Chain A
Amino acid sequence: MEPIIQDLGFIIGTTLMYSTPLIFTSLGGVITERSGVINIGLEGMMYFGAFAGAAVAYFSQDPWLGLLCAALGGAFWGLIHAIACVSFSAEQIVSGIAINFLGAGSALFISRLLFDGATQTLTVARKIPQPLDFLFGEGKMFASSGFTDLVFNRFATVYLAFFLVFVVWFVLYKTQLGMRVRAVGENPEAANTLGINVTRIRYGAVIMSGFFAGLGGAAMSIAVVSRFSNTLISGHGFIALAAMIFGKWKPQGALVACLLFGAAKGLEIFLGSKGVPVAGDILAMLPYVLTIIILIGFVGKTTAPAAIGKIFDKGDH
């Protein structure tokens, strides 16, 4: 096979792998912000999810149970954020900052208890499987390590992430529930007048955002790598948040932005493997520069949900 095609396959494959945790978390961001609640705590939720996923997968030897528990763990912190923001009119960014300390702190706290004082879990016996693996290899439909293998033979979480982009898009734009979520995010007073339960919608959306961020964390800890460590998440939640805004608060837009961030990572790893470290740092910087430039390009177009960050209090009117 042409080496250049092989290289391209490697880059695309790594891009997909590194985009996946971001896609999950970013979708969580879309859901909560569309309901009008800022969630800067995605980082902490993702962090906790990464730990919970790896810990449960390690002890149960079942990566799927790990993935589920990661999502539930994230959803728990989503609930706390919802209680603070929806029921007690908390300053949403401040509450999110608190969640970041709490999510990371509690993950490391429990990790030290369960893993003999270490801030990382042990390696899980079984990672999230690669469902199409049976198609590739000696005498199979496709050769191993070829372009198709590198690109399409990915972890189940990768396919799940793409599928969920579609699901979130469908729910937000094609169902009554989605319409309600968007209405609450645009004009909660009007939504309330129309009989929509603003509190319930926002609780649901914020909890779901934690659920998705938890999935994102596990997609990192039990698919991309095979254990949780204290440096594993380090800012991915914030990148996902930025990707969501880059993608104009739309699931499909967030997907594109996450792929961009993933591609930068993929290229960085590729160039690193070819021994070009100088370009690596500059290249890694590019998506962030690009995000700022693109955001500047949004001038005059308000794309954020109108009621974002605003406290809704039924008693006010």
Chain B
Amino acid sequence: MTGTKLKELFLKGPFGLTLISILLGFLVGAIVLLIAGFNPAEAYWAILRGIFAKPKYVSYVIIYSTPLIITGLSVAFALRTGLFNIGAEGQFIVGAMAAAIAGYFIQLPMLLHVPLCLFLAMSAGAVWGGLAGHIKARFGVHEVISTIMLNWIALYLSNWSLTLQSFGKQGTGKSHMIQETARIDLFGQWKITEAGIEFIRSHKVLGDILKSPVNLGIIFALLFAFLMWYILNKTTLGYELRAVGFNPDAAEYGGINVKKSIITSMSIAGSLAGAAGALQVMGVGHKIAKLAIMEGYGFDGIAVALIGNNTGPGSVFAGFLFGGLKYGGAKIQDAVGAPTEVINIVVGTIILFVAMPKLIQMLLKFRKG
């Protein structure tokens, strides 16, 4: 690729627009910090240190990013078919619930237990997403509204499941811990043995990393991102789904079953968000707890998808960005006393500019005179 072509792609393509939006987001964040009386350079430096200063921090960022990448993929996948999956939150919740139930009640060897939990969680998510798709395809109810409803139904369903005698630990608002065989922690058991404790103490880098709840989640996240890219770009199904997203009328005319595509797309999106919930239970929490409010994994996934320009690789990048900001951003409170929530302002601003390509193109034109 020649230099000019590269420049063209960068300045006019979606990649350039996203990058400019990200820069503008940090710029607005800096201005807000400045007005509030903080040194933005110091604050941003604190975030960077909070992400990279210790091996443990990097490990935590990966753990924080994992569910965000996957819910991001969920939202992105649906968006490619022209559907707005606000319901990743609810699909995440039913996925987590399914994994917690299957992880607690079923006794199996690990090699079967882990895939089974994941499969059941993805199925639950697929039902939750597919339901919204079905209601849209059959009855024309906008998916934004049905998924908002399904989010709340999922939340109350999950809370209700905890009131069941056999599943919830009565009086704690939490479920029983899932079996060891359903967990995807790395060295979870070994870490608390004497040898493990000794290892953590003596190995500076690896030991530090092991202090965080390292798990296989990120492997799954990257695998899902690759699968999504593959399905969308290399299969007939992906071609059809994208065609529907591009122009449903033309797709219908071209012989694609639009209604079926809507249901398929929402089911796949739902299964992804369900997987995110399952991996969070299997790798980090090992249980579910009563939800007083939405935890926000699905809503953050919307941000990830939008910043990642609705692609697999983009969601991975944006997921790490958001995960890093979330984890590193929590530290600016102690480091410089600035409110952590400047992160939400940065992310919100990025999305706002992503929503307005027209403005950014105008700014670019203006700069060129």
Q: Interface residues, chain A, CB within 8 Å of chain B?
A: 40, 80, 84, 88-91, 93-95, 97-102, 104-106, 108-109, 111-113, 117, 119, 231, 234-235, 238-239, 241-242, 245, 277-278, 281-282, 284-285, 288-289, 291-292, 295-296, 298-300
Q: How far is the CA of A144 from the CA of B177 in the complex (A)?
A: 49
20 contacts between A and B (CB under 8 A): A84-B352, A84-B355, A88-B356, A93-B84, A98-B349, A101-B345, A102-B352, A105-B347, A106-B32, A106-B344, A234-B294, A238-B148, A238-B151, A242-B145, A281-B157, A281-B159, A284-B156, A295-B135, A298-B140, A299-B139
Number of A-B residue pairs with CB-CB distance less than 8 Å in the complex they form? 151
Question: With A97-B302, A97-B303, A101-B303 given, is the CB distance from A88 to B159 under 8 Å?
Answer: no
Nearest chain B CB to A43 CB, angstrom units: 9
Q: Which residues of B contact A98 (CB under 8 A)?
A: 348-349, 351-352, 354-355
Q: How far is the CA of A106 from the CA of B29 in the complex (A)?
A: 11
User: Taking the complex as formed, is B163 at the interface, i.e. its CB lies under 8 A from any CB of chain A?
Assistant: yes
Nearest chain B CB to A1 CB, angstrom units: 33
Nearest chain B CB to A84 CB, angstrom units: 6
Q: Is the interface of B mostly helix, strand, loop or mixed?
A: helix
Contact between B355 and A282, CB atoms less than 8 A apart = no
Q: How far is the CA of A106 from the CA of B36 in the complex (A)?
A: 11
Chain B 70-92 residues near chain A, CB threshold 8 A: 84, 86
Q: Is the interface of A mostly helix, strand, loop or mixed?
A: helix
Contact between A296 and B139, CB atoms less than 8 A apart = yes
Contact between B160 and A281, CB atoms less than 8 A apart = yes
Contact between B160 and A278, CB atoms less than 8 A apart = yes
Chain B 318-357 residues near chain A, CB threshold 8 A: 333, 337, 339-345, 347-349, 351-352, 354-356
With beta carbons under 8 angstroms apart, the residue of A93, A101, A117, A288 that contacts B348 is A101
With beta carbons under 8 angstroms apart, the residue of B32, B149, B293, B337 that contacts A109 is B32
Contact between B293 and A94, CB atoms less than 8 A apart = no
Q: Which residues of A contact B152 (CB under 8 A)?
A: 235, 239, 284-285, 288
Contact between A281 and B163, CB atoms less than 8 A apart = yes
Interface residues on B, range: 35 or more
Q: Which residues of B contact A245 (CB under 8 A)?
A: 142, 145
| Residue in chain A with minimal CB distance to B159 | A281
Given A90-B355, A97-B303, A108-B341, 9 new contacts (CB under 8 A): A94-B306, A101-B347, A101-B348, A106-B344, A109-B36, A113-B36, A241-B148, A288-B152, A295-B141
Q: Which residues of A contact B303 (CB under 8 A)?
A: 97, 101
- As a 0/1 sequence over residues 129 to 173 of chain B, the CB contacts with chain A under 8 angstroms (1 = contact) are 000000100011110111011111100110110010000000000
Q: Which residues of B contact A284 (CB under 8 A)?
A: 152, 156
With beta carbons under 8 angstroms apart, the residue of A241, A281, A299 that contacts B156 is A281
Contact between B153 and A91, CB atoms less than 8 A apart = no
Q: How far is the CA of A22 from the CA of B186 in the complex (A)?
A: 46
